[in-house]
Amino acid sequence: MMEVRNRSTTFHQNRRRFFRRIAPLGLVLAFHSFGCEREGGTEADIPAAPLAKPAPASVRGLQRRGDFRAVKQKARAWFDQLEVDPVLLLKKGIKGKKKLAEILDVYLSYQKHAAEAAERQSILARARALARQTERPEYHDMLRLSDEEFTQNSMSYLRVAWLLEQLGLDIKSYRQEILKIKPRLDSHMAQRGPWQRAMFAEYYDRFGLEKPPALLNSPMQQGIVSRRLPAARYSDNDTYDFTHELFVAFDYGLKRAQNRFAAADLVYSRDTLRQLLPRYVRENNPDLAGELLSGMTYLGWHEDAEYQQVIDFLLDGQNKNGTWGSYEAHRQIYGPYLEHHVYLHTTMVVIQALLEAFEGGWPAAAEIKK
């Protein structure tokens, strides 16, 4: 859900080209740190799970809670066995830091909804193992990357650090590495799109970095929600931008309130969500359907028929191995790295959307104070 793009090189442009190559086959594609535990770390260092809250009573998924628990467990087993080496992945032409950020994001979501201390302990252990990748000097290669590679990996580089900290790991050394690349980061900010600059501004605040001029305004005011692009004209990239403006507003589901959108923006967003969700269900695209489900969850539109339809679509669409998506036509090209190239992102998006829908306890739109 989080990676940056510019006008010429984007995750979804690459993914669209990926789909186009497969289309002739007749397939319909969906789509610490130097990190170690804190010194003297104990169970007390593991962030406690939030108090359990009931899901909105109108959610169709309440009738399928058993199905949700099954897909949640199966997806967790798949994530647990996936090795993510960002240095190796970059050599294979895959955005390695982005993939490390994605799998850490998954574990933060699982941790957020973990009710038992033993489960939180297992999540922390897994996060600690993944974090060892950031102890390698070759991981911190941002100053050696090409401009294109820097653009593709810089937001993920910051997000990995932030996710490690949220998971309870020490990022003191990682923060020092971030300071080293700040001048290059600053110089790239003017090239970013609205939601990207808004998210970078958040990271600059979180890491105590002085903001360059490009981050001092309100970039989301130039975003797709402000422009009121009709839903019928949305490309996949437009949908990606739209969902990520919602993600930034709610900090990817970690904030319950937002102050970036006015009431008229929310009316537009609801109408757009209701139009886009059936489209991506019809196209058998769990990737963007999952992102849209998260957006509708955050905004509280749980009673809409489109919301309930997409829950069924996602619950019924899990692969036997615990993933979501249909990308096997490209297996001969990517081999074992196909999991990292596309399955990881799609499965992350879907399981996070379902976790928030079933266990997030988000208020209905009528309960949200404007």
Q: What is the mean pLDDT of residues 337-342?
A: 96
> How confident is the model over 101-127, as pLDDT tens digits?
999 999 999 999 998 999 999 999 999
Q: What is the C-alpha separation between 361 and 243, in angstroms, rounded?
A: 20
Regarding predicted confidence, which is higher, 267 or 38? 267
Classify each residue of 236-249 as buried b or exposed e, where b means 16 or more C-beta atoms within 10 Å of its C-beta.
bbbbbbbbbbbbbb
pLDDT tops 90 at residue 370: no
Q: Report pLDDT for 367.
A: 65
pLDDT tops 70 at residue 346: yes
From 5-19, 157-171, 179-193, the region with the lowest mean pLDDT: 5-19
pLDDT band per the 50, 70, 90 thresholds, residue 248: very high
Q: What is the mean pLDDT of residues 249-274?
A: 93
Regarding predicted confidence, which is higher, 223 or 18? 223
Structure tokens, 7: 């006008």
Q: Please name the helix (run of DSSP H) or strand (run of DSSP E) that holds residue 17, with its range, or none.
A: helix 11-22
How many CB atoms are closer than 10 A to CB 279? Answer: 17
pLDDT band per the 50, 70, 90 thresholds, residue 130: very high
Sign of CA dihedral 189, 130, 12, 1: negative
Q: Report pLDDT for 62.
A: 64
Structure tokens, 184: 């290059």
Regarding predicted confidence, which is higher, 81 or 1? 81
Regarding predicted confidence, which is higher, 28 or 291? 291
Structure tokens, 332: 């001969």
- Amino acid of residue 59: V
Closest CA to 296 of 218, 353, 361, 228: 353
- In degrees and rounded to multiples of 5, residue 169 shows phi and psi of -105, 155
pLDDT tops 80 at residue 249: yes
Q: What is the C-alpha separation between 287 and 350, in angstroms, rounded?
A: 7
In angstroms, the Cα distances linking 214 to 66, 158, 350, 351 are 48, 18, 33, 34
C-alpha Rg value of the chain to the nearest Å: 19
In whole numbers, what is the pLDDT of the chain averaged over residues? 85
Structure tokens, 176: 């020092």
> Please, which residues have CB within 8 angstroms of residue 50's CB and are 6 or more apart in sequence?
112
Judge contact between 121 and 46, C-beta under 8 A: yes
How many CB atoms are closer than 10 A to CB 52? Answer: 9
Length of the chain: 370
> How confident is the model over 68-100, as pLDDT tens digits?
999 999 999 999 999 999 999 999 999 999 999
Domains and CATH numbers, the chain: 11-367 (1.50.10)
pLDDT tops 90 at residue 315: yes
pLDDT tops 50 at residue 42: no
Q: What is the mean pLDDT of residues 221-243?
A: 95
For 305-317, the DSSP string reads HHHHHHHHHHHHT
Sign of CA dihedral 353, 111, 155, 333: negative
- In degrees and rounded to multiples of 5, residue 37 shows phi and psi of -65, 155
For 320-356, the DSSP string reads TTS-----GGGHHHHGGGHIIIIIHHHHHHHHHHHHH
Opening angle at CA 133, ends 128 and 137, nearest 5 = 135
For residue 125, the number of C-alpha atoms closer than 13 Å in the C-beta half-sphere is 8
Structure tokens, 287: 């990737």
Q: What is the mean pLDDT of residues 319-344?
A: 95
Burial class (CB within 10 angstroms; exposed 0-12, middle 13-18, buried 19+) of 27: middle
pLDDT band per the 50, 70, 90 thresholds, residue 157: very high
Q: Report pLDDT for 63.
A: 79
